Homo-oligomer: A and B are copies of this chain.
Amino acid sequence: MPPLRALVFDAYGTLFDVHSVAQLCEELWPGQGAALSRLWRAKQLEYTWLRSLMRRYEDFARITEAALLHACAALGLPIDEQRRRRLLGAYRELATFPEVRDALAALKASKIRLAILSNGSPAMLRPVVAHAGLGALIGTLISVDPRKIYKPAPTVYRLAVERLGVTRRDIGFVSSNCWDACGAKSFGFRTFWINRAGAPVDALGAAPDHVIAGLDELPDLLRARLS
């Protein structure tokens, strides 16, 4: 296999643990933290897919807020202005998965270019990357926002090709969201699915090329298999 020239990472769920908000959810509504965090995330993704198909794009910050309010209503959890602001603030300070920093540092040391390609709008993405202190490791932040459509629409993956100035075959795409890895594979990237939960692969007509259990496996895998 030819070596890769760039690695492009999904952000939410891949580098940043979207369920790190469950702790604050639990503090605000004891006994409901995990359920709220799960439904919030599920609705967030659902709204990105539905609005993309309806051609009614709205940016990821607004979708994240709408999904939170819907999830609270569905679970019967009263949410006031202060709680809303605290929870959306927590989304700008998501925890980084424990192995991420060291793995990114090792990859950067190998001279491969690192970028993020995310559903997040720039104003939402920059603070979470800065809070995690990953700005020095990942030079390029690419948001779907200019295309006004969400993953896994092919035009979104094409943004990375254009921004990085390399061909799709030169790009390795890394996501913990299986459907995102499938979408990237369907577009033509070499894909790495981080399957932290041991889930079955999604049946979407394009399976990820590689399955790893954590980002820490990626530097060795690239050395062994791809260069």
Contact = CB atoms under 8 A, between A and B. Distances in A.
Given A46-B46, A52-B53, 10 more contacts: A46-B179, A47-B203, A49-B53, A50-B182, A54-B186, A56-B204, A56-B206, A66-B203, A73-B200, A74-B199
A153 B47 CA distance: 13
B179 A50 contact: yes
Nearest to A71: B200
A172 interface: no
A78 B55 CA distance: 39
A53 B152 contact: yes
Interface in A58-108: 58, 66-67, 69-70, 73-74
A153 B50 CA distance: 8
**5 interchain residue pairs of minimum CB distance:** A73-B200, A66-B203, A49-B49, A56-B205, A53-B153
Contacts of A56: 186, 204-206
Contacts of A153: 53-54
Interface centre among A52, A53, A154, A206 (most CB of B within 10 A): A53
A51 interface: yes
